[in-house]
Amino acid sequence: MFSKVLVANRGEIALRVMRACRDLGVRTVAVYSDADKHAGHVRYADEAYNVGPARAADSYLDHEAVIEAGRKAGADAVHPGYGFLAENAEFARKVEESELTWIGPSADAMERLGEKTKARALMQEADVPVVPGTTEPVESAEEVKQIAEEYGYPVAIKAEGGGGGRGLKVVRSEDEVEEQFETAQREGEAYFDNASVYVEKYLEAPRHVEVQILADEHGNVRHLGERDCSLQRRHQKVIEEAPSPALDADLRERIGEAARRGVREADYTNAGTVEFLVEDGEFYFMEVNTRIQVEHTATEEVTGIDVVKWQLRVAAGDELDFAQEDVEIDGHAIEYRINAEDAANDFAPATGSLETYDPPGGIGVRVDDAVRQGDEIGGDYDSMIAKLIVSAGDREECLARSERALSEFEIEGIQTIVPFHRLMLTDEAFRAGEHTTKYLDEELDRERIDQAVEKWGSADTVATADADGESDETDAEEVTEREFIVEVNGKRFEVNLEERGAPPMPEVEAISNGGGAGGQGAQATRSRPEEATSEDDEVVIEGEGEQVAAEMQGTILSVEVEEGEEVAAGDVVCVLEAMKMENDIVTERGGTVTQVLVEEGDSADMGDVLVVLE
Ligand code: MV4
């Protein structure tokens, strides 16, 4: 095994990889940009190296800077995580040619699978079903028309270097061919530096099902079952689950074996994912992702196999120590991506500070993150701040547990898509497991998302926007919402009070020194929310009758009234000693004493009800 691994990534996946390293007794090296000096992955690593400015192209994507950090640290291997350099064959080759080991498939295997027509031809060779279409690039719009005649419209024109929906054009009739052919070429050139395109029959409403693979350098290839990632928004996965609710046992067996044959044909090693489209009980190869994926955790939860640990072991030359028959799918797991985005505003990235960050726990709940309360979430990188993975004995139980876990997830100070996830748990199509890849973009009613955000979005300190939608320091009205813990007759209530540009609530100190209920002004108003989170901040609200309460913590020196007695406004009911001073506790309105809750010598907490009147 390696003794020191450089993790060329940030965020939760960097931490995930470092945890696997620690489990194996391997030391960890982080790289970070100027924006990430205090980031979670840096805090966790044994040592960390700055690789450049915030802009990813100048830091996390800088081949030489990353490799140089590995050299300086004396690391013996590089784990790329996902995104950034993970699927860059050129970088993988540079690592292979350095004194470092690349923790991933060989640069050759990455290249074999990176070009889509090559990958399709390779899969056909291995008897893996592919979507009907070409296994060579097409050269002209005329050629596209001929192929479309053969399969029938619609067809998809795809960029050779494509993936993740970029460079994918759907053509529904002959007169659209010319334009879409040229657009696909242009996009291919722009995104992947490769203008080649090819053609497939277009499937209208498939499901996205992908198979997790592990392969070692001794010829062993195992599949760890499939995940269903059909719930996507503009090609971004939002919720993933294992196993797929869309497969029966027979299809599951066949798709898993097909994936194994495919990667064997590609001489593939390490972890990888074979993506398929599934429609009408048939499956079709799409592409291979030559990296660890965000959603690998769902597979880990149902198989009990640590995929990242095996990436390290396999790269170090170890042999997979389990047979295919040893892989058992036990129960169900669903992963919810916790993105800092405003679901009600077209999932626009949100920035801010994590004023509250209190993730759920308990049985069946796993949270992978690299943030903690107080962290700033800037807009420099991916909006995913955490993943919640819920597992249970079956899908039904998993959905119920998900409701529990998502409702426990407390995040304030920044918008996340937790409300969207809670909506999905009320959604018939999702609950039934019948959603396709079209569902989010084309079928779900936007208004339901707005309502979910309204209902479950976090209470927060907000500045109301002006009519023009802009808000600024000078003329935005401050609306401060404070949460109070209130006890009424010994029962605990949470009360949210909204304060609009009003003078702040009277301070306890202000009462005890006799008036001057706090100055007006924005400074005092802003300072309140922090105090409101304190456990001690208990006040009493008035019910039907008057409740006379202790205004501060102290000792009851004397009780001046008894039950049944009539008292007037301003009468003394108790004397409370606090901070070496005697304080008269007086009624505000007066009435008949119905309850005396304390006696001489008792101690009282601030907010405790002492006497109740009617
Ligand atoms: C398709 C398809 C239907 N038919 N190919 C989108 C991303 C890229 N990986 C491939 N994609 C698709 N290819 C054929 N022949 C539908 C999609 C597709 C899709 C696939 C998986 C998950 C979500 C999707 C959303 C829209 C379209």
Confidence of residue 502 (pLDDT cuts 50, 70, 90): low
Please give the average per-residue pLDDT across 494-498, as a whole number: 83
List the residue whose alpha carbon is closest to atom 11 of ligand 1. Answer: 165
pLDDT above 60: residue 521: no
Confidence of residue 167 (pLDDT cuts 50, 70, 90): confident
pLDDT above 80: residue 481: no
Give percent above pLDDT 90 in the chain: 80
Other CB atoms within 10 A of residue 334 CB = 28
Give percent above pLDDT 70 in the chain: 89
- Please confirm whether the linkage preceding 243 is cis (ω < 30° from 0): yes
Distance 441 CA to ligand 1 centre (A): 13
pLDDT above 80: residue 215: yes
Distance 417 CA to ligand 1 centre (A): 24
Phi and psi of 188, rounded to 5°?
-60, -45
Distance 163 CA to ligand 1 centre (A): 9
Structural contact between residues 5 and 70, judged by C-beta atoms closer than 8 angstroms? no
Please give the average per-residue pLDDT across 538-564, as a whole number: 81
Lowest mean pLDDT across 237-241, 328-332, 456-460, 510-514: 510-514
What pLDDT sits at residue 14? 98
pLDDT above 90: residue 228: yes
Pick from 588, 590, 585: nearest CA to 604 = 585
Note the pLDDT tens digit of each residue in 237-268.
Answer: 999 999 999 999 999 999 999 999 999 999 99
Distances (CA, A) of 451 to 345, 411, 454: 12, 18, 5
Distance 88 CA to ligand 1 centre (A): 22
Residue 131 CA: nearest ligand 1 atom is 15
Distance 251 CA to ligand 1 centre (A): 20
Pick from 353, 324, 351, 329: nearest CA to 340 = 351
Residue 516 or 114, more confident: 114
Confidence of residue 475 (pLDDT cuts 50, 70, 90): very low
What pLDDT sits at residue 504? 54
* Paired strand residues for 99: none
Lowest mean pLDDT across 197-211, 290-304, 386-400, 487-501: 487-501
Residue 230 CA: nearest ligand 1 atom is 22
List the residue whose alpha carbon is closest to atom 25 of ligand 1. Answer: 437
* Paired strand residues for 461: none
What pLDDT sits at residue 496? 84
Structure tokens at 252: 């599951």
Distance 201 CA to ligand 1 centre (A): 11
List the residue whose alpha carbon is closest to atom 5 of ligand 1. Answer: 202
Note the pLDDT tens digit of each residue in 176-211.
Answer: 999 999 999 998 898 888 999 999 999 999 999 999
What pLDDT sits at residue 470? 44
List the residue whose alpha carbon is closest to atom 12 of ligand 1. Answer: 165
Most ligand 1 atoms within 8 A of CB, residue of 131, 135, 168 to mutate: 168
Note the pLDDT tens digit of each residue in 291-344.
Answer: 999 999 999 999 999 999 999 999 999 999 999 999 999 999 999 999 999 999
Distance 274 CA to ligand 1 centre (A): 14
What pLDDT sits at residue 467? 39
Q: Name every residue whose Cβ is closer than 8 Å to that of residue 391 and which is 6 or more positions away in sequence.
A: 301, 302, 331, 332, 333, 334, 364, 366, 398, 401
List the residue whose alpha carbon is closest to atom 10 of ligand 1. Answer: 165
R_g over Cα of the chain: 31
Structure tokens at 338: 């916790």
List the residue whose alpha carbon is closest to atom 21 of ligand 1. Answer: 208
Distance 207 CA to ligand 1 centre (A): 9
Question: In 364-519, at which residue ranges do the beta strands (DSSP E only) sit?
Answer: 365-369, 376-377, 384-392, 410-412, 462-463, 478-488, 491-500
Q: Name every residue whose Cβ is closer than 8 Å to that of residue 425 and which is 6 or more positions away in sequence.
A: 399, 402, 403, 406, 431
What pLDDT sits at residue 423? 98
Confidence of residue 445 (pLDDT cuts 50, 70, 90): very high
pLDDT above 80: residue 490: no
Residue 287 CA: nearest ligand 1 atom is 9
Residue 200 CA: nearest ligand 1 atom is 15
pTM recorded for the entire structure: 0.79
Distance 165 CA to ligand 1 centre (A): 7
* Paired strand residues for 138: 197
Angle at CA 568, nearest 5°, toward 567 and 572?
Answer: 70
What pLDDT sits at residue 443? 97
Most ligand 1 atoms within 8 A of CB, residue of 284, 437, 441, 442 to mutate: 437
| Amino acid letter, 29 | V
Distance 235 CA to ligand 1 centre (A): 8
Mean pLDDT for the chain? 89
What pLDDT sits at residue 459? 53
List the residue whose alpha carbon is closest to atom 16 of ligand 1. Answer: 203
Using CB distances shorter than 6 Å, the residues near ligand 1 are 131, 156, 163-165, 168, 200-203, 206, 208, 232, 235, 277, 286-287, 437
